[in-house]
Amino acid sequence: MTEEKNTAEEIMVPLADYNTISENATIYEAIRVLRESFHRDGRAWHGHRSVIAKNEAGEPTGILTLGSILRAAGLRELYIDDPYLKAVSWGWYYIKKLQEGALRVRDIMQPLGLAVARASDTLTDIAKTMLRFNVNYLPVVKKGQVIGIIRSIDIFTAMDRYFS
């Protein structure tokens, strides 16, 4: 019988497992760091789809997700019912726009303190917090320090015992 993992601290991904970036970095730099994250351990799409932003003192201050970058790039325009807009090669246009722009990680990152899970929170507590704040991740806090990140996939993995 496997040991059940019931708390945020037991199922979280430790902060040290995430790639980091300065909150002052450009979004283009963040895209490069995220791309590196996708190939952790030499395997494609094995890493995280987010990076941890740090301030000048090296403290974690936010999380930058792939979704945040896509929203910042203006890709919401693809939802417009304009066949011409959808037909053009928008990808290079937006990458160029981000590369030249002054948009920084701090401008679009999700601050770590907005919604958190305590290390001792149960799966139910974590799920409720994620639903309340409409997020797919939560920083895990212990003694006032962020020690890890819990993702919605971590909750589903831990809940597997209920359905097997």
Residue 76 has pLDDT above 50, yes or no: no
- 106-to-87, 127, 132, 135, 154 alpha-carbon distances in Å: 32, 26, 23, 18, 26
Residue 1 has pLDDT above 50, yes or no: no
pTM to 2 decimals? 0.74
Task: Compute the distance between CA of residue 98 and CA of residue 147 in angstroms, rounded to an integer.
Answer: 31
Share of residues in the chain with pLDDT > 90 (%): 40
| Region of residue 58 (left: phi > 0; alpha: psi -120 to 50; beta: else) | left
- Domains recognised in the chain with CATH numbers: 8-163 (3.10.580.10)
pLDDT in tens, 119-160: 999 999 999 999 999 988 899 999 999 999 999 888 888 887
What token pair was written down for 134? 């409409």
Task: Compute the distance between CA of residue 37 and CA of residue 15 in angstroms, rounded to an integer.
Answer: 13
Residues in the chain: 164
User: Quick one: which of 79, 75, 89, 24 has its CA closest to 53?
Assistant: 24
What token pair was written down for 141? 């806090």
Using DSSP, state whether 48 is helix, strand or coil.
Answer: coil
pLDDT tier at 96 (50, 70, 90 boundaries)?
A: low
Residue 162 has pLDDT above 90, yes or no: no
User: In terms of pLDDT, which residue wins out, 118 or 27?
Assistant: 118
Residue 91 has pLDDT above 70, yes or no: no
